[in-house]
Structure 1
Amino acid sequence: MTPLIKIRSERDQMSAIERRIADYVLDNAHLLRDYSSQQLASALGISQSSVVKFSQKLGFKGYPDLKFSIGEALARDGGGDADAPIAADATGGHAALADALWREKAAAGEETRLLNPDATIDAAVDALHGAQRIFVCGFGADGIAAREFALKLAMLGKLALHETDPLPMLAHLAGAGRDDVLVLFSEQGKHAALAQLARQFQLGGGRLLSVTRHTANPLRAQADVALVVSAHSAMLHVEPLLYRAALNHLLDVLFVLLFRRDDATQARFATQVERIAHLLDP
Structure 2
Amino acid sequence: MAPLAKIRGERDRMSAIERRIADFMVENAHLLRDYSSQQLANALGISQSSVVKFSQKLGFKGYPDLKFSIGESLARRESANGDDDETADGEGGDDPGALLAESLWRAKGEAVNVTRALNAHADVAAVAEAIRVAGKVYAIGVAHDGLYARAIAIKLALIGRTAIHLFDPALMAVGTSSTAPGDVLLVLCEHGHDAALCHTARLFRQRGGKVVTITRHTANALRAHADIALLVSAHDPRPQVELLLYQAALQHLLDLVFLLLCEDEAHLRMLVENAAPIE
TM-score by length of 1: 0.83
User: For residue 82 of structure 1, what is the aligned residue in structure 2?
Assistant: none
User: For residue 39 of structure 1, what is the aligned residue in structure 2?
Assistant: 39
Between 62-71 and 159-168, the greater mean CA deviation after superposition: 62-71
Q: What is the CA distance between 1:16 and its match in structure 2? A: 9.1
SS at match of 2:128: helix
* 2:172 equivalent to 1:175: no
User: For residue 155 of structure 1, what is the aligned residue in structure 2?
Assistant: 158
Taking the TM superposition and a 5 Å limit, the aligned residue runs for 1:1-282 are: 1-7=1-7, 21-22=21-22, 24-26=24-26, 28-42=28-42, 46-52=46-52, 54-55=54-55, 62-78=62-78, 92-260=95-263, 262-274=264-276, 277-278=277-278, 281=279
Q: What is the CA distance between 1:63 and its match in structure 2? A: 2.3
| Matched-pair contact (CA < 8 Å) for 1:187–1:211 | yes
Q: Distance in 1 between matches of 2:211 and 2:55?
A: 36
Q: In percent, how many aligned pairs have the same letter?
A: 54
Aligned residues: 268
Amino acid at match of 2:4: L
Amino acid at match of 1:124: V
Q: Distance in 2 between matches of 1:152 and 1:101?
A: 27
Q: What is the CA distance between 1:223 and its match in structure 2? A: 0.8
Q: What is the CA distance between 1:3 and its match in structure 2? A: 2.6
TM-score by length of 2: 0.83
Alignment CA distance shift 1:13-1:237 (3 Å):
closer
Amino acid at match of 1:184: V
Alignment CA distance shift 1:132-1:17 (3 Å):
farther
| Matched-pair contact (CA < 8 Å) for 2:135–2:183 | yes
Structure 1: runs of 5+ lacking an equivalent? 80-84
Q: What is the CA distance between 1:208 and its match in structure 2? A: 0.6
Alignment CA distance shift 1:51-1:253 (3 Å):
same
CA RMSD of aligned residues (A): 3.0
Amino acid at match of 1:38: Q
Alignment CA distance shift 1:20-1:216 (3 Å):
farther
Q: What is the CA distance between 1:2 and its match in structure 2? A: 2.9
Between 249-258 and 20-29, the greater mean CA deviation after superposition: 20-29
Structure 2: runs of 5+ lacking an equivalent? 80-84, 86-91
- Higher relative CO (Cα under 8 Å, sequence separation at least 6) belongs to 2
SS at match of 2:190: coil
Query: What's the CA shift string for 1:69-100, capped at 9, x where partnerless?
Result: 31232244359xxxxx9xxx9x6432222122
Q: Distance in 2 between matches of 1:69 and 1:153?
A: 41
Q: What is the CA distance between 1:183 and its match in structure 2? A: 0.8
Amino acid at match of 1:73: S
Q: Distance in 2 between matches of 1:168 and 1:50?
A: 48
